[in-house]
Structure 1
């Protein structure tokens, strides 16, 4: 259980959560919040007084250059949008930081082991799994109904039917790799469509048919990825595994870009081996996603190749971005810091 789950457990059981307490019952705590966009800033300003937090809001991502803004605060909150270098972690340590709360589920943008060596604990947040689960189902349905090509045609006033008929989920097998909170939420939604569901996870967490990864790939018409990015899952789907997939199968990724070997994916799509892909995350997205690149060349040739394909949907890491999930993220990032402070009071 994460710090945020521990802190909100009383509310789920009908008790009082930290959000409902008054500032008088929670000691004022200084927290520096980096990479804070306008939408997050509004939420932090609204929630911080209720939790007894004195926030220092910083628009820019955390870096060596602005690490001094954390002086006097043991806890900082950081965004997942920009990798945090070891030099930045060292600068934060020298500024007296002992806890970094990343406003994301994943840790892959932070060297957690290096941070631990500096005496810095890194914590993630829990947020509504429904945001990503809903988006995943949307991408699945768009992929099997040729939505990208259809919308492009309609925008150009070409109203003819697509050359390829769409497919219905009830006729297909969907393989879910990773059955944490998001993967289970995806499975719950898939059940309503009447499709066959296969799953793969080291620790099965729901009543569904679990099979080895290679078996799942051979039997699935759609494969959707929801496993954390670790050294063991980096390029989980590579050339060998793409070759195992059913001809015409679809790949959906709302997890992390490097779960897929992007060059191998491009080749599998170009050759016609795969029927299509729907990607909310892409390998090498850093510096591209979350920026206006209309007038700036993009160096990532695999990303450009994917976007040019009529059977590939690409969105800019936005599956998590709902009002509910963002509110969860902001609150739980603050709660994580307060929980750390309460367990590590000075003196």
Structure 2
């Protein structure tokens, strides 16, 4: 199939080209993101492959369908950027990569926790300047601390296993029961109970209407004073302005983010020679107890190879008329044409 990739970097081209030797598709890589202005570039493509920050709303989907695109392939797990109702009306299947490397994201969440706790990022800069003073670098033992995980899917379960290895007590909340989580030793509880008990809260849930701004002013008020908050899932699960108030009041003592609700104009790009116009994001950066990485939790060689393999297999399955095991369910009420 002819596949047009939007929003690609050098590493995307490298891994997809390597894996495509097994599939034999014709790949076209574009650096521009997909939106209403660039959708015309998909003309002649059988399938379009997009990433988390591409805009795939109704207008874009209509343009893609008009251009002859027959499949939308996401090279990521989340699909909150896709208008699924419009895709259903157009009869345009949507496939994704539901799990590429849960270890990559879980391990990055732990990296944020450890860095914030032991302040290794600050210590690194001090030592480079010849400053070996320890004042301001004190951390705490993770062993014996209580960590609350919101979301116990594949990534949440891997995170739980790692935390249990550190000797943490792990609380968990999810809309579904998990026998595997119970085997690991996760204590299921309510959100309110998790907020009240957890020294560290790590988010591992998808972005849905129910989880949008789940961490808001009311939720923060229920948390322990001095809590550490970690988000490696989706930015809009956190109400950023409410979290800033939590930081100012010192209710939140540590904040680690790999995602940000308005990251679309920032992440994956070099903005070092620009004036960043997002005042909320710049306010976050002003806190010395906030650590932000640019949506890199997924970024390991293992994960990128798996993403390429699963994405191209999804496309091959569609081409050969096989069952699309990684299809995103489309709204039933609007799926008929």
- TM-score normalised over the length of structure 2: 0.89
SS of the aligned residue for 1:136 comes to helix
1:170 pairs with one of 133, 143, 151: 143
- Aligned twin of 1:247: 225
Change (3 A) 1:263 1:64: closer
- Aligned twin of 1:40: 12
Q: Structure 2, unaligned stretches of length 5 or more? A: 324-337
Q: CA deviation at 1:88?
A: 1.7
Structure 2 residue 111 is matched with structure 1 residue 138: yes
Change (3 A) 1:164 1:327: closer
Q: Structure 1, unaligned stretches of length 5 or more? A: 1-28
Q: Is the 8 A contact 2:213 2:236 kept in 1?
A: yes
Q: Is the 8 A contact 1:76 1:97 kept in 2?
A: yes
**Cα distance in structure 1, aligned partners of 2:225 and 2:197:** 10
Structure 2 residue 48 is matched with structure 1 residue 76: yes
Segments ≥4 residues shifted beyond 6 Å: none
- Aligned twin of 2:305: 327
- Aligned twin of 1:22: none
**Cα distance in structure 1, aligned partners of 2:127 and 2:282:** 23
What does 1:226-265 correspond to in 2, within 5 Å?
226-265=204-243
**Cα distance in structure 2, aligned partners of 1:337 and 1:79:** 15
- Aligned twin of 2:21: 49
| Corresponding residue pairs, total | 317
Q: CA deviation at 1:39?
A: 1.3
Cα offsets for 1:195-234 (capped at 9, x unmatched): 1000000113221211111110110000000000011100
**Cα distance in structure 2, aligned partners of 1:53 and 1:250:** 46
1:94 pairs with one of 63, 66, 72: 66
Cα offsets for 1:164-196 (capped at 9, x unmatched): 621111131000100111111111111111110
Cα offsets for 1:71-95 (capped at 9, x unmatched): 4443221122333343221110101
1:304 pairs with one of 282, 289, 295: 282
- Aligned twin of 2:154: 181
Q: Is the 8 A contact 2:35 2:54 kept in 1?
A: no
**Cα distance in structure 1, aligned partners of 2:290 and 2:137:** 15
**Cα distance in structure 2, aligned partners of 1:109 and 1:298:** 23
- TM-score normalised over the length of structure 1: 0.86
**Cα distance in structure 1, aligned partners of 2:283 and 2:156:** 28
